[in-house]
Structure 1
Amino acid sequence: MEFVNRLVDVAARAMNNNIVIDVCLLASFATLGMRSVHQQKVIEALEAEKENLIKSNKAMRKTMWDWKQQLFSEASTDSALVPLTRLRAIYGEAPTAQSAAGDAAKSSGSVKFIV
């Protein structure tokens, strides 16, 4: 029991000693500073990765656009396997027959039932 009393006495003296408090504050500040430096390095690495991903996404979009334009140019010839109108419908660039009929029904204001 005396050991516990001594420990409490030492802790009480340390709480009143400014040097101990200053050392604890300095250690806390150093720990937070090291954590901040580590987090800053992680943030910089993530920003660099983000820039690389943006560049690669732009390159992929450009490649896909070029492929699509090449596909359209090949489909515009008479010997195409898939007609150009079908490709435009697949890519959503031209209205399909169903969507054109639906748009006409909406614009006429009357309801039509197809059986």
Structure 2
Amino acid sequence: MEFINRIAEAATRALNNNVVIDVCLLASFATLGIRSVHQQKVIEALEAEKENLVKSNKAMRKTMWDWKQQLFAEASTDSASVPLTRLRAIYGEAPSPQPAAGDTVKQGAKSSGPVNFIV
């Protein structure tokens, strides 16, 4: 029991000693500073990676656009295996065909969703 009392007294003296408190504060400040430097390096690396990904994404978009334009150019010839109108429909650039008057009524009846009644 006496051993525990000595440990408690030493802890109380250490808590009241300004040198111990200053050392703990300095160690905390140094730890936070090191962590902050590490996080800053990680952030800079992520920003550089983001810039590279944005550049890569723009290059891929341009390549895809060029391929699409080349595909449309090849499809506009008479010997194309896929007609230009079909390609435009696939890419969503052609207007969808307008349904006949009778089809509109049928689609309206099919497309009506569930009816919600408010009581």
- What is the TM-score with the length of structure 2 in the denominator? 0.84
The separation in 1 between residues aligned to 2:3 and 2:22, in whole angstroms, is 27
Q: CA deviation at 1:95?
A: 1.7
The separation in 2 between residues aligned to 1:45 and 1:113, in whole angstroms, is 58
The separation in 2 between residues aligned to 1:85 and 1:94, in whole angstroms, is 7
The separation in 2 between residues aligned to 1:57 and 1:38, in whole angstroms, is 28
- What is the TM-score with the length of structure 1 in the denominator? 0.86
For residue 9 of structure 2, what is the aligned residue in structure 1? 9
Aligned residues: 105
For residue 108 of structure 1, what is the aligned residue in structure 2? none
1:113 aligns with 2:106: yes
Q: Identity of counterpart residues, as a percentage?
A: 81
Superposed CA RMSD in Å reads 1.4
For residue 47 of structure 1, what is the aligned residue in structure 2? 47
1:92 aligns with 2:85: no
The separation in 1 between residues aligned to 2:8 and 2:17, in whole angstroms, is 14
Q: CA deviation at 1:2?
A: 1.1
Q: Secondary structure at the match of 2:93?
A: coil
Q: Secondary structure at the match of 1:113?
A: helix
The separation in 1 between residues aligned to 2:81 and 2:106, in whole angstroms, is 35
Q: Secondary structure at the match of 1:85?
A: helix
In structure 1, runs of 5+ residues without a counterpart are: 106-110
Residue identity opposite 2:87 in structure 1: L
The separation in 1 between residues aligned to 2:68 and 2:13, in whole angstroms, is 79
In structure 2, runs of 5+ residues without a counterpart are: 108-119
For residue 76 of structure 2, what is the aligned residue in structure 1? 76
Q: CA deviation at 1:79?
A: 0.7
